[in-house]
Amino acid sequence: MKDRLIPFVIILFSLSYTFGQETEGDDTLRFVFEPDSLFLHVGETGEVKVKLIDANGDLAQSPFLIYGQPRRSLEATPRISDSTGSATVKIKPHKPGNLKLRVRSVSVKREDRIYGSAKVEVPKPKLDRIVFQNVESEYFSGSSFQLKTIVYDEADLVRKDVTVSLSSSDINIATVNQFGIVRTIKSGKVNIMATVGELSSSTTIKVVKNPVRSISISTATDKIRTGDVLQVSAQTFDRRRQVIPNAPIQYSYMGKAEYGIGLPASGQITPDGRFVAETEGMYKITASANGFSASKSIQVSPRNVDKEVELVGHGLISNVYTSDLWIWPGIGKHIGKDFAVTGTWGANGEAYFWDVTDPENMVIIDTITVDARTVNDVKISEDGRVGVISREGASNRKNGFVILDVSDPYHVKITAEFNDDMTGGVHNVFIYDDHVYAVNNGRKYDMINIEDPSNPFRVGVYELSTPGHSIHDVWVEDGIAYSSNWADGVHAVDVGGLKFSEKNRRKVQFNPLLMRAGKGSPSNPVPLANMADPNGHNHAAFPFKSQSTDKFYIVAGDEWFPWRYPGKPRPYQPRGGFHFLDFTDIDNPKEEAVYTITEAGSHNHWIKGDTLYAAYYNGGLRIVDISGDLLGDLYRQGREIAFFMTGHPEGHIPNSPNVWGTIPYKGNIFFTDMYSGLYCVRLVEKDNRNSTP
């Protein structure tokens, strides 16, 4: 009986191993890991031999990509195997958990990719210390504040998986609850104790008599629109009516929305007194200190920025998926004309060139076909002479980008290819100052000199050093490269930052990054500032210099696909939004606002003036007012000017919106839809439908 169980056990092990590989695509290929699992502590190193083999057990003679999962948790070196399909991978965990060493083959077709993974079990390090944050030298009695703690383990990692218990040594002086809210009662000194298991720490706070005997409140106006940020000012006074500059003030609001059914008004007020409303109605704003309070009523009216979108023209592409676009004015004998280029995704390596001079009758005038499955990105130089298209899924796996002569868009010519060290594919490109910035292999961007477009050569590389780092996009403006790096967020890098002169005085003063730039170049990229993405979805970034304020933002867009459909192509259901990161103080950037549609997913975006043009995948094209100070949820504040839902009965996937990218140009808005091609629309007033610039 015991012997009969052995084959069954072997079968179970075999099935378990197969599912562990997560193999998809061509089932004649598979990954082999030696060993197939590891146990490591944080900071330790291990080694795994990985092979991509065929049905005969021979190396597949094809490279594969190597990465850790989750992002920023597992460092893996090298990031790509040799051309035979073999790699000895050194791994180093930076976080505890059930991690994975993941691999993916480089294939011509995306659906033919082979995936594999090996488990890396990393135990949680022992807790080391509790650190109190934001402790002031003294506090007034009769006030409250949140006392925050951070727990570190022996690997110096912040541990958010533990619960800190807080207690007061004298509840007659101050109390503290489970959320860290300390309420001071009377003068004296008190110890606040923090405990996690056997680990403990304490801090002493000093409570002094509260001199506040009255408070006043004021605002610049008592009438605002939804989305307007109103600064509330409050002052506290002692019994002699002397101002107390450091007294803690708490702000709150209440209101009634003008819905007609008595629902509460919705808004937000920050600890520093900035108020913004999402719904129209009457609000009461209150400032409180030491039991004294003062209030003021604020009338909030609708923002009323909405317009309508009018379809100007549509160039249907139904045989393949459409990717990104670029629009530019003609040069030489084509001055006065306007042109566009669009890429293709999961197709035959085609890029279409369009005459869009008459947007009502856009027409394809030339097609360039390269060795690729996907031409994901397309860019044209500022002088209108050079084009660059990215390549993924080349038949010989020599992916890279292709340089084009587009001076005559009716007869585009291939000038050169650049494939060196780009086996994993170039996903996005940007042209700036005779250089191509090419995002490749999913982990870095290279700077390629194209002063002579027929002789491109690499001059620099920018790659993060964080574990498991990856990158999706790069955008260059005024000599600063803004890269989007998933969990590592946005990074601003000096690659030849615009230097101060009388000619560009305002531009330099308007962008605080430029005040620090000037030492970098394409061959010497110098990091300036960054901000991580806690959700790990950072997909695209666009610098935004507000025309109506002195603030400088980097607007970061998400990309996230929580649901996918296997088998027959069906519309995806992505999610995500756009995050407004205030980089006015580049050493302390902070997220101030978000624009998100909960039932749809964001992709690429463009900002012109104080308007956001958002390609929102299944949410269509969205146009958003981003004037003035920004705070909170812009969608709920009525800042959306208009939207346009695409979909065509003859689309690659019929009657489904999937907007990819957008560019405002000469009073019109051009954009691509993945399922149905190139569109041109314009904003019109609701009453008389006159076009607006």
- Please write the tens of the pLDDT for every residue from 204-238: 999 999 999 999 999 999 999 999 999 999 999 99
Average of per-residue pLDDT across 241-269: 89
**Cis bond before residue 649 (omega within 30° of 0):** no
- Over 50: is that where the pLDDT of 15 sits? no
Ranges 100-114, 293-307, 360-374, 422-436: which has the least confidence: 100-114
* Phi, psi for residue 524 in degrees, rounded to 5: -145, 70
User: What is residue 10's predicted lDDT score, i.e. its pLDDT?
Assistant: 30
- Over 50: is that where the pLDDT of 88 sits? yes
**Domain extents in the chain:** 19-122, 127-208, 227-301, 308-463+471-684
Quick one: which of 358, 348, 367, 349 has its CA closest to 411?
367
Express each pLDDT in 144-198 by its tens digit.
999 999 999 999 999 999 999 999 999 999 999 999 999 999 999 999 999 999 9
DSSP-derived letter for residue 265 is P
| Cα 364 from Cα 160, distance rounded (Å) | 55
19-122: CATH topology: Immunoglobulin-like (2.60.40)
User: What is residue 275's predicted lDDT score, i.e. its pLDDT?
Assistant: 98
Q: Quickly state the pLDDT bin for 22 (edges 50, 70, 90).
A: very low
Residues in a beta bridge with 392: 374
| Cα 267 from Cα 251, distance rounded (Å) | 13
Express each pLDDT in 248-257 by its tens digit.
999 999 998 8
- Over 50: is that where the pLDDT of 502 sits? yes
- Over 50: is that where the pLDDT of 501 sits? yes
SS3 508: helix
Express each pLDDT in 421-460 by its tens digit.
998 899 999 999 999 999 998 899 999 999 999 999 999 9
pLDDT averaged over the chain?
92
- Over 70: is that where the pLDDT of 567 sits? no
Cβ contact 132:149 at 8 Å: yes
User: For residue 601, what are its two tokens?
Assistant: 């997913």
User: What is residue 562's predicted lDDT score, i.e. its pLDDT?
Assistant: 83
Q: Quickly state the pLDDT bin for 473 (edges 50, 70, 90).
A: very high
Beta-strand ranges (E) seen in 267-360 are 267-269, 274-277, 281-289, 292-301, 308-316, 321-329, 338-345, 350-355
CA distance from start to end of the chain: 83
User: What is residue 68's predicted lDDT score, i.e. its pLDDT?
Assistant: 93
| Cα 84 from Cα 444, distance rounded (Å) | 23
| Cα 375 from Cα 381, distance rounded (Å) | 17
Average of per-residue pLDDT across 527-543: 95
- Over 50: is that where the pLDDT of 6 sits? no
What superfamily does domain 308-463+471-684 belong to in CATH?
YVTN repeat-like/Quinoprotein amine dehydrogenase (2.130.10.10)
| Cα 114 from Cα 52, distance rounded (Å) | 9
User: What is residue 27's predicted lDDT score, i.e. its pLDDT?
Assistant: 61
- Over 90: is that where the pLDDT of 479 sits? yes
Cβ contact 415:387 at 8 Å: no
| % pLDDT > 70, the chain | 93
pTM for this one?
0.91
Express each pLDDT in 611-666 by its tens digit.
999 999 999 999 999 999 999 999 999 999 999 999 999 999 999 999 999 999 99
Cβ contact 248:140 at 8 Å: yes
Note the CATH architecture for domain 227-301. Answer: Sandwich (2.60)
- Over 60: is that where the pLDDT of 475 sits? yes
- Strands across the sheet with 605-608, in order? 605-608, 611-615, 621-625, 640-644
Q: CB-side exposure of 52: number of CA atoms within 13 Å?
A: 29
| Cα 557 from Cα 603, distance rounded (Å) | 7
SS3 76: strand
Residues 6+ apart with CB under 8 A from 160: 151
Cβ contact 118:126 at 8 Å: no
User: What is residue 314's predicted lDDT score, i.e. its pLDDT?
Assistant: 98
Q: Quickly state the pLDDT bin for 2 (edges 50, 70, 90).
A: very low
* Phi, psi for residue 451 in degrees, rounded to 5: -55, -40
Q: Which residue has the higher pLDDT, 463 or 691?
A: 463
User: What is residue 688's predicted lDDT score, i.e. its pLDDT?
Assistant: 52
Q: Quickly state the pLDDT bin for 569 (edges 50, 70, 90).
A: low
User: What is residue 564's predicted lDDT score, i.e. its pLDDT?
Assistant: 64
Q: Quickly state the pLDDT bin for 21 (edges 50, 70, 90).
A: very low
The phi-psi region of residue 617 (left if phi > 0; otherwise alpha if psi is between -120 and 50; otherwise beta) is left
Same fold, 19-122 and 227-301: yes
User: What is residue 570's predicted lDDT score, i.e. its pLDDT?
Assistant: 59
CATH number for the region 127-208 comes to 2.60.40.1080
User: For residue 372, what are its two tokens?
Assistant: 């690729």
- Over 90: is that where the pLDDT of 398 sits? no
Q: Quickly state the pLDDT bin for 509 (edges 50, 70, 90).
A: confident
Query: Where do we find the tokens 């005459």?
Result: 355
Q: Quickly state the pLDDT bin for 686 (edges 50, 70, 90).
A: confident
Cβ contact 428:442 at 8 Å: no
User: For residue 627, what are its two tokens?
Assistant: 């004037």
User: What is residue 568's predicted lDDT score, i.e. its pLDDT?
Assistant: 53
SS (H, E, C) 568-621: CCCCCCCECEEEEEECCCCCCCEEEEEEECCCCCCCCEEEECCEEEEECECCCE
Residues 6+ apart with CB under 8 A from 490: 482, 483, 484, 530, 531, 533, 538, 541, 554, 556, 581
- Over 50: is that where the pLDDT of 14 sits? no
User: What is residue 30's predicted lDDT score, i.e. its pLDDT?
Assistant: 94
- Over 50: is that where the pLDDT of 316 sits? yes
Other C-beta atoms closer than 10 Å to the C-beta of 604 total 26
